[in-house]
Amino acid sequence: MRYQSAGESHGPAQVTIVSEVPAGVILNATSIDADLARRQSGHGRGGRMAIERDSAEILSGVRFGKTIGSPVAIMIANRDWPNWSDRMAQEGKPPHDLVREQSPRPGHADLVGAMKIGTQDCRDVLERASARETAARVAAGAVARAFLSHLGVEIGSYVTRIGAVVLPDQAIARKKAVFSATKIEVSPVRCPDEEVSQQMVEAIDEARAAGESLGGWFNVSVTGLVPGIGGYAQAEDRLTGALAGAVCSIPAIKGVQFGLGFEAGSLPGSQVHDAIINPGALGGRGIPRRAGNNAGGLEGGMTTGETLLISAVMKPIPTLTQPLQTIDLISRQVTEASKERSDVCAVPAAAVVAEAEVALVLADAYQRKFGYDTIADILKAFEAYIERISR
């Protein structure tokens, strides 16, 4: 399974095409919309989210509520488009009063993108570099998630830090890995602890008042995985790299860890590796289990069958209402960076986008192991594999 997306932030729509989707996956726009709404939420979002109500229109690949093996195309309309149709027109000449974006924001794609494509208007770059594009990723991820749910795989996420406010005892939080989804979904910042959520909300409000923005950390956890997804034989088979690449492809993500993560570099081996235990002791189906999960569910580039646990860091959003110094793109004179309407903090949204990226990587890896054409064949291969490794 793979996807591509297209669409400018203030153009008519975001679109995605998901290819290699097996036939027989139960899919409807309502379930995609649920994920789109989760991505839109979160304290710290700006004025744009009051305009948008993201909703998926399935254009192909689905018939009577099930996929038919052809590419799934999905469109999400940009409700802000009518306010931009002159400045973002596909045809004709620019309006006479067009204001070009010439003051690139440090930290955004503006400057390097403008140099790269040879434009004197950063809008040519920022419209696509905008995180608005992640709506299409979430729609694509919902297709992957629908496929994975046939195989018992569930994906969730939660926020562990916003600015200086941290969910206490990261190590415990990581080992526990899966928090109550209800607590996370009702939190205004996707944090499972009510008190910490409130502190995070306050930190965001303070940042907004100071013309600042905030980044943070989040975890993605995946349950229901079977061991042996991914591979060790070639670099590209290793799920660790594919997952890290996918999560780091999300705008503003600057780092990824698995399980114990960077702490693994400071401890001796005996305190890092997860002992293998007799499956019968846990009443499992006979599949070997681990005493802990410092590995975060991955060994040798493959799933171990334990919860997959990914942590990521998002930098603060580059658009600041108290702007940093920049230079004018054309005159090269020192000036202030442009002040676009923007979010103050989008860490909760990024966590939902990361769920989608992880779903797409896992769906592809499951297909490589169990097949491509139809859910029925994939389930047969899956059951046969579970049977074999349980013996």
Q: Are 153 and 223 in contact (CB under 8 A)?
A: yes
Taking the complex as a whole, the smallest distance from the CB of residue 32 to ligand EPS amounts, in Å, to 15
46 binds ligand EPS (CB under 6 A): yes
> By beta-carbon distance, which residue lies closest to ligand EPS?
48
Q: Which stretch binds ligand EPS (CB under 6 A): 29-37, 125-133, 156-164, 199-207?
A: 125-133
Taking the complex as a whole, the smallest distance from the CB of residue 59 to ligand EPS amounts, in Å, to 20
Interface with ligand EPS: number of residues (CB under 6 A): 14
CB neighbours of residue 285 within 10 Å = 11
The DSSP output letter for 259 is T
Q: Which tokens in the block code for residue 166?
A: 């941290």
48 binds ligand EPS (CB under 6 A): yes
Q: Which region, left, alpha or beta, applies to residue 134 given φ > 0 means left and ψ of -120 to 50 means alpha? A: alpha
CB neighbours of residue 260 within 10 Å = 24
Taking the complex as a whole, the smallest distance from the CB of residue 168 to ligand EPS amounts, in Å, to 29
Binding mask 1-20 for ligand EPS (x = CB under 6 A): --------x-----------
Give the CA distances from residue 133 to residues 4, 26, 75, 127, 350, in Å, rounded to whole numbers and listed in that order: 11, 25, 12, 9, 12
Q: Which tokens in the block code for residue 246?
A: 């996918």
174 binds ligand EPS (CB under 6 A): no
Nearer to ligand EPS, 131 or 260 (CB): 131
Q: Which of 93, 332, 341, 391 binds ligand EPS (CB under 6 A)?
A: 341
Which residues 126-155 are close enough to bind ligand EPS by CB under 6 A? 130-132, 134-135
User: Per residue in 30-64, is it b (16+ CB within 10 Å) or e — as a string?
Assistant: ebbbebbebbbbbbbbbebbeebebbbebeebbee
340 binds ligand EPS (CB under 6 A): yes
Q: Which stretch binds ligand EPS (CB under 6 A): 45-53, 232-240, 253-261, 304-312?
A: 45-53
Angle of helix 347-370 relative to helix 239-248, nearest 10 degrees, comes to 150
Residues near ligand EPS (CB under 6 A): 9, 46, 48, 52, 130-132, 134-135, 319, 340-343
